[in-house]
Structure 1
Amino acid sequence: MTTIIDYGIGNLRSLAKAFAAAGVEVERTDDPGRIEDAERLVLPGVGAFGACADEIRARGLWDVVLDRAHAGVPLFGVCVGMQLLFESSSEGVGDVPGLGLLPGHVVRFPADLEVDGRRLKVPHMGWNELVGRDAHAVLPPTDNAWAYFVHSYHAAPADAATVLATVDYGIDVPAVVGRDNVVGAQFHPEKSGRVGLEMLRRFAAWSPSPVSV
């Protein structure tokens, strides 16, 4: 069973339907007890980093998620859920603390992004081709693999080894990150067709190595 953490923010219904389409049984819950008993966890998120963090705390789920991650339970962060895996975000007044499961921070795209003299818009919205950096059990083959993104902030990992795949949007943008039992996708698997469904299947079958955090 894969458990989607329901803290009231995120494409919860669409994500649950995507898992179902991938042949994966899921439950959605905001019950700390259910989350404590989960075999694997999905942390969704859309919108602002701080609002998501505040809602997770308000529902008494912050420490539960951390405890389960440190205990080795597979955890998959999606979009802002991926960003929350890092130490902090500059989206807000000052740095907003994250879960700190991955080293690094979340920052806004530069204002002067361009490719071949063409100015790129922020938010980064639409389809981009994944470029694999490191093999990982959850990462689908990145040969001609396209995924759908919607975000104005991106991860700036402190450890390059945690970056599993990138996309080119004027800069190399971390698209898939991971370490030990924690993995995250900046893109929306539920909107990314075959690539997204394959990633959900792989996460549901993943048996990660022990944690080192």
Structure 2
Amino acid sequence: MFSPKFVVWAFLREAKVHNRTLVLTGSFLAMVFSFAVVFYSWSFPEIGVRAVFSLDIQYFQKENLLNSDQELPLTGDKITALDGNTIYSWPQFLRTVQQLPIRNSADGVPNTVRLGFYRPSDQTNHESLLLYGQTSLENMIPSFLWLVLKMAMVFAGGLILWWKPTEDSARQFFILGLVSLVAYMGGYHWWRIATQPMLIFCFQAGAIFLPAVSLHFFM
């Protein structure tokens, strides 16, 4: 028979191994996901048109219009075509935008794409030539700041759990950091990663578990 002292020692040793494995594995996977989201979003072409869950234009950035004398897409207009392709759904629109080639503009020739849209107010079809390019670094600064802050939280939680692997509160804090990192990084760019099954699945998992993990931590 094992002595009580041996049982306690074995339990603590097993908890130490499991929690340190959690630190290494969880930190690595969360970091891979976060960097994948950030750099995928950074490479996503920006055409200045926002539509969510439907083809109705919710926002248009006027700076993306090639010529000011063109018809300006308005809020409520419906996207019908992009780059010569008829658009039937919002996911197709995102995939078409994502596949736009970004050429080097050093020769002075800008990247342009033709947007077709329908205006319900007067039941007319219009086309506009839009400028597009890689998402600017300025627009990605909030994402980088979020990443640094959340990674700092994960690092702090992992460091605490590494040195105190038998503390339940340390494990809860570390898991909270992991889940919040995945949920917030995915949530900040959800409309860009919506057509990427692996990224959107990880984000959904983080968003679903975040309330439960937060409640468990603060109870």
Q: Same fold (TM over 0.5)?
A: no
Shorter-chain-normalised TM-score: which range? under 0.3
Larger Rg: 2
Q: Which has the higher contact order (CA 8 A, sep 6+)?
A: 2
Instruction: Name the TM-score, length of structure 1 as normaliser.
Output: 0.22
